[in-house]
Protein backbone atom coordinates (compact mmCIF):
# COMPACT_ATOMS: atom_id res chain seq x y z
CA UNK A 1 0.00 0.00 0.00
CA UNK A 2 1.16 3.52 -0.78
CA UNK A 3 1.99 6.41 1.56
CA UNK A 4 0.36 9.53 0.16
CA UNK A 5 0.48 13.22 1.16
CA UNK A 6 -2.25 15.55 -0.13
CA UNK A 7 -2.11 19.32 0.19
CA UNK A 8 -5.36 21.20 0.78
CA UNK A 9 -7.17 18.09 2.01
CA UNK A 10 -9.43 19.57 4.70
CA UNK A 11 -12.41 19.61 2.33
CA UNK A 12 -13.39 19.36 -1.33
CA UNK A 13 -11.70 17.02 -3.75
CA UNK A 14 -8.59 16.71 -1.60
CA UNK A 15 -10.66 15.32 1.25
CA UNK A 16 -12.76 13.08 -1.00
CA UNK A 17 -9.63 11.66 -2.63
CA UNK A 18 -8.11 11.05 0.81
CA UNK A 19 -11.22 9.19 1.94
CA UNK A 20 -11.22 7.04 -1.20
CA UNK A 21 -7.54 6.19 -0.79
CA UNK A 22 -7.94 5.30 2.89
CA UNK A 23 -10.84 2.98 2.00
CA UNK A 24 -8.51 1.19 -0.39
CA UNK A 25 -6.01 0.63 2.41
CA UNK A 26 -3.50 3.34 1.61
CA UNK A 27 -1.78 5.44 4.27
CA UNK A 28 -2.73 9.08 3.83
CA UNK A 29 -1.36 12.21 5.50
CA UNK A 30 -3.57 15.26 5.24
CA UNK A 31 -2.73 18.96 5.12
CA UNK A 32 -4.56 22.08 6.28
CA UNK A 33 -3.64 25.74 6.46
CA UNK A 34 -4.46 26.21 10.17
CA UNK A 35 -5.45 24.29 13.33
CA UNK A 36 -9.20 24.61 12.81
CA UNK A 37 -8.96 23.35 9.25
CA UNK A 38 -6.79 20.50 10.50
CA UNK A 39 -9.61 19.44 12.84
CA UNK A 40 -12.02 19.59 9.92
CA UNK A 41 -9.67 17.45 7.82
CA UNK A 42 -9.30 14.75 10.45
CA UNK A 43 -13.05 14.74 11.15
CA UNK A 44 -13.84 14.22 7.46
CA UNK A 45 -11.19 11.51 7.07
CA UNK A 46 -10.65 9.86 10.47
CA UNK A 47 -8.69 7.00 8.90
CA UNK A 48 -5.85 9.31 7.86
CA UNK A 49 -2.54 8.86 9.67
CA UNK A 50 -2.09 12.49 10.64
CA UNK A 51 -2.59 16.11 9.54
CA UNK A 52 0.21 18.61 8.91
CA UNK A 53 -0.42 22.34 9.18
CA UNK A 54 1.09 25.02 6.97
CA UNK A 55 -0.09 28.19 5.24
CA UNK A 56 0.98 27.74 1.62
CA UNK A 57 0.58 31.46 0.93
CA UNK A 58 3.77 31.94 2.99
CA UNK A 59 7.02 30.74 1.45
CA UNK A 60 8.63 30.38 4.88
CA UNK A 61 5.72 28.25 6.14
CA UNK A 62 5.81 26.17 2.97
CA UNK A 63 9.51 25.48 3.49
CA UNK A 64 8.83 24.54 7.12
CA UNK A 65 6.05 22.23 5.94
CA UNK A 66 8.50 20.54 3.58
CA UNK A 67 10.78 19.82 6.53
CA UNK A 68 7.85 18.39 8.52
CA UNK A 69 6.87 16.15 5.59
CA UNK A 70 10.46 14.88 5.40
CA UNK A 71 10.47 14.17 9.14
CA UNK A 72 7.78 11.56 8.47
CA UNK A 73 9.96 9.74 5.97
CA UNK A 74 9.57 9.30 2.23
CA UNK A 75 6.12 9.27 0.66
CA UNK A 76 5.23 7.26 -2.42
CA UNK A 77 3.03 10.06 -3.76
CA UNK A 78 2.63 13.80 -3.25
CA UNK A 79 -0.61 15.33 -4.57
CA UNK A 80 -0.43 19.11 -5.07
CA UNK A 81 -4.13 19.73 -4.62
CA UNK A 82 -4.32 23.00 -2.65
CA UNK A 83 -5.47 26.01 -4.63
CA UNK A 84 -7.13 29.41 -4.53
CA UNK A 85 -9.58 30.53 -7.20
CA UNK A 86 -11.12 34.00 -7.30
CA UNK A 87 -11.10 37.13 -5.21
CA UNK A 88 -9.39 40.43 -4.51
CA UNK A 89 -5.64 40.48 -4.66
CA UNK A 90 -4.08 39.69 -1.28
CA UNK A 91 -0.35 40.12 -1.17
CA UNK A 92 1.97 38.01 0.92
CA UNK A 93 4.53 39.30 3.40
CA UNK A 94 7.28 37.55 1.47
CA UNK A 95 9.99 39.27 -0.54
CA UNK A 96 9.18 39.46 -3.35
CA UNK A 97 5.58 39.96 -2.33
CA UNK A 98 3.16 37.82 -4.31
CA UNK A 99 -0.58 37.60 -4.72
CA UNK A 100 -1.65 34.74 -2.41
CA UNK A 101 -3.22 32.96 -5.38
CA UNK A 102 0.16 32.75 -7.12
CA UNK A 103 1.94 31.73 -3.91
CA UNK A 104 -0.47 28.87 -3.20
CA UNK A 105 -1.12 27.62 -6.73
CA UNK A 106 2.33 27.94 -8.31
CA UNK A 107 5.14 28.65 -5.86
CA UNK A 108 4.08 26.27 -3.08
CA UNK A 109 3.98 23.14 -5.26
CA UNK A 110 7.33 24.16 -6.75
CA UNK A 111 8.92 24.57 -3.30
CA UNK A 112 7.49 21.30 -2.00
CA UNK A 113 8.59 19.42 -5.12
CA UNK A 114 12.11 20.77 -4.68
CA UNK A 115 12.44 20.20 -0.93
CA UNK A 116 10.45 17.06 -0.12
CA UNK A 117 12.17 13.67 -0.41
CA UNK A 118 11.64 12.56 -3.98
CA UNK A 119 8.52 10.36 -4.23
CA UNK A 120 7.61 7.76 -6.84
CA UNK A 121 4.73 9.91 -8.07
CA UNK A 122 3.83 13.59 -8.23
CA UNK A 123 0.34 14.79 -9.08
CA UNK A 124 -0.38 18.43 -9.97
CA UNK A 125 -4.04 19.48 -9.97
CA UNK A 126 -4.73 21.77 -12.93
CA UNK A 127 -7.95 22.83 -14.70
CA UNK A 128 -9.37 23.10 -18.19
CA UNK A 129 -9.09 26.87 -17.64
CA UNK A 130 -5.34 26.50 -18.14
CA UNK A 131 -5.99 27.01 -21.86
CA UNK A 132 -6.41 30.72 -21.11
CA UNK A 133 -3.09 30.88 -19.25
CA UNK A 134 -0.29 33.22 -20.31
CA UNK A 135 2.63 31.18 -21.63
CA UNK A 136 5.05 34.12 -21.62
CA UNK A 137 5.76 33.45 -17.92
CA UNK A 138 6.23 37.14 -17.24
CA UNK A 139 5.44 39.22 -14.15
CA UNK A 140 4.48 36.32 -11.88
CA UNK A 141 4.39 38.86 -9.03
CA UNK A 142 1.69 40.89 -10.82
CA UNK A 143 3.80 43.98 -10.09
CA UNK A 144 3.19 45.75 -13.42
CA UNK A 145 -0.31 44.46 -14.30
CA UNK A 146 -3.74 45.35 -13.00
CA UNK A 147 -5.03 42.37 -11.00
CA UNK A 148 -7.38 40.00 -12.84
CA UNK A 149 -8.20 37.00 -10.69
CA UNK A 150 -9.58 34.88 -13.53
CA UNK A 151 -6.43 35.43 -15.60
CA UNK A 152 -4.18 34.76 -12.61
CA UNK A 153 -5.98 31.48 -11.93
CA UNK A 154 -5.68 30.41 -15.58
CA UNK A 155 -1.97 31.25 -15.50
CA UNK A 156 -1.37 29.12 -12.41
CA UNK A 157 -3.24 26.16 -13.83
CA UNK A 158 -0.97 26.32 -16.89
CA UNK A 159 1.99 26.57 -14.50
CA UNK A 160 0.87 23.33 -12.82
CA UNK A 161 1.02 21.46 -16.12
CA UNK A 162 4.36 23.04 -17.01
CA UNK A 163 5.79 22.02 -13.64
CA UNK A 164 4.58 18.45 -14.01
CA UNK A 165 6.10 18.16 -17.47
CA UNK A 166 9.38 19.86 -16.51
CA UNK A 167 9.84 17.49 -13.57
CA UNK A 168 8.87 14.49 -15.71
CA UNK A 169 11.64 15.48 -18.12
CA UNK A 170 14.27 16.10 -15.45
CA UNK A 171 13.42 13.23 -13.09
CA UNK A 172 12.93 10.08 -15.19
CA UNK A 173 12.58 7.99 -12.02
CA UNK A 174 9.40 9.90 -10.99
CA UNK A 175 5.94 9.62 -12.56
CA UNK A 176 4.90 13.29 -12.67
CA UNK A 177 1.47 14.03 -14.12
CA UNK A 178 -1.29 16.63 -14.00
CA UNK A 179 -5.05 16.38 -13.94
CA UNK A 180 -8.15 18.43 -14.65
CA UNK A 181 -10.82 17.24 -12.18
CA UNK A 182 -13.57 19.02 -14.11
CA UNK A 183 -16.15 21.51 -12.87
CA UNK A 184 -17.50 19.70 -9.82
CA UNK A 185 -19.76 20.68 -6.93
CA UNK A 186 -17.24 21.56 -4.23
CA UNK A 187 -16.83 24.79 -2.28
CA UNK A 188 -14.61 26.06 -5.08
CA UNK A 189 -16.77 24.77 -7.93
CA UNK A 190 -20.11 25.81 -6.46
CA UNK A 191 -23.36 23.91 -6.04
CA UNK A 192 -24.34 24.37 -9.69
CA UNK A 193 -21.31 22.54 -11.10
CA UNK A 194 -22.23 19.80 -13.54
CA UNK A 195 -19.13 17.60 -13.43
CA UNK A 196 -18.93 14.08 -12.06
CA UNK A 197 -17.33 13.99 -8.59
CA UNK A 198 -16.80 10.25 -8.73
CA UNK A 199 -14.99 10.50 -12.05
CA UNK A 200 -12.74 13.21 -10.63
CA UNK A 201 -11.89 11.17 -7.52
CA UNK A 202 -11.21 8.07 -9.64
CA UNK A 203 -8.58 10.04 -11.54
CA UNK A 204 -6.94 11.24 -8.30
CA UNK A 205 -6.78 7.64 -7.07
CA UNK A 206 -5.36 6.33 -10.35
CA UNK A 207 -2.58 8.92 -10.46
CA UNK A 208 -1.82 8.55 -6.75
CA UNK A 209 -1.41 4.78 -6.95
CA UNK A 210 -0.76 3.94 -10.60
CA UNK A 211 -3.63 1.44 -10.40
CA UNK A 212 -5.64 1.38 -13.61
CA UNK A 213 -2.95 3.01 -15.71
CA UNK A 214 -2.18 -0.41 -17.14
CA UNK A 215 -5.12 -2.08 -18.82
CA UNK A 216 -8.70 -0.78 -18.83
CA UNK A 217 -7.90 0.90 -22.13
CA UNK A 218 -5.19 3.07 -20.52
CA UNK A 219 -1.62 3.27 -21.71
CA UNK A 220 1.12 2.02 -19.42
CA UNK A 221 2.02 4.32 -16.58
CA UNK A 222 4.07 7.19 -17.91
CA UNK A 223 5.03 10.70 -16.95
CA UNK A 224 4.38 14.22 -18.13
CA UNK A 225 0.79 13.41 -19.06
CA UNK A 226 -2.42 15.36 -18.53
CA UNK A 227 -5.57 13.57 -17.43
CA UNK A 228 -9.24 14.47 -17.39
CA UNK A 229 -12.12 13.06 -15.31
CA UNK A 230 -12.78 9.37 -15.68
CA UNK A 231 -9.05 8.51 -15.95
CA UNK A 232 -8.91 9.75 -19.54
CA UNK A 233 -5.72 11.17 -20.99
CA UNK A 234 -6.24 14.64 -22.47
CA UNK A 235 -4.41 17.16 -24.62
CA UNK A 236 -3.30 20.28 -22.75
CA UNK A 237 -2.42 23.60 -24.31
CA UNK A 238 0.35 23.00 -26.85
CA UNK A 239 2.71 25.50 -25.21
CA UNK A 240 2.91 23.20 -22.17
CA UNK A 241 5.20 20.90 -24.18
CA UNK A 242 7.63 23.70 -24.99
CA UNK A 243 10.83 22.95 -23.08
CA UNK A 244 11.94 26.59 -23.17
CA UNK A 245 8.68 27.69 -21.52
CA UNK A 246 8.99 24.95 -18.91
CA UNK A 247 12.53 26.02 -18.07
CA UNK A 248 11.52 29.69 -17.95
CA UNK A 249 8.93 28.87 -15.30
CA UNK A 250 11.47 26.88 -13.29
CA UNK A 251 13.88 29.82 -13.38
CA UNK A 252 11.19 32.25 -12.27
CA UNK A 253 10.09 29.98 -9.44
CA UNK A 254 13.72 29.59 -8.35
CA UNK A 255 14.25 33.36 -8.45
CA UNK A 256 11.15 34.04 -6.36
CA UNK A 257 11.56 31.21 -3.84
CA UNK A 258 15.33 30.96 -3.57
CA UNK A 259 15.00 27.17 -3.99
CA UNK A 260 16.50 25.26 -6.91
CA UNK A 261 14.97 22.12 -8.37
CA UNK A 262 17.47 19.30 -7.70
CA UNK A 263 18.89 17.51 -10.72
Active site residues: 153, 157
Can you tell me the distance from the alpha carbon of 67 to that of 58, in angstroms, rounded to the nearest whole number? 14
Q: Please, are residues 75 and 4 in contact by the beta-carbon 8 Å criterion?
A: yes
Strands 232-233, 226-228: pairing kind:
antiparallel
Can you tell me the distance from the alpha carbon of 111 to that of 39, in angstroms, rounded to the nearest whole number? 25
How many Cα neighbours within 13 Å face the side chain of 163?
30
DSSP assignments along 214-239, one per residue: SBTTBPPP-SS-EEETTTEE----GG
* Residue among 79, 38, 48 at smallest CA distance from 201: 79
Amino acid sequence: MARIFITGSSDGLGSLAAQALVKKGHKVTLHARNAQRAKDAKSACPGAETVLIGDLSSMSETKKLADEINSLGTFDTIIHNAGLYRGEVKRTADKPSLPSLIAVNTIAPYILSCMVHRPKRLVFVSSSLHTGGDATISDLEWATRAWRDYQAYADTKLHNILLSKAIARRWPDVSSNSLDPGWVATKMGGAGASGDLNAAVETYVMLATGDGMKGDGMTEEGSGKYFRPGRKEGLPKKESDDVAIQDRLLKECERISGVELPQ
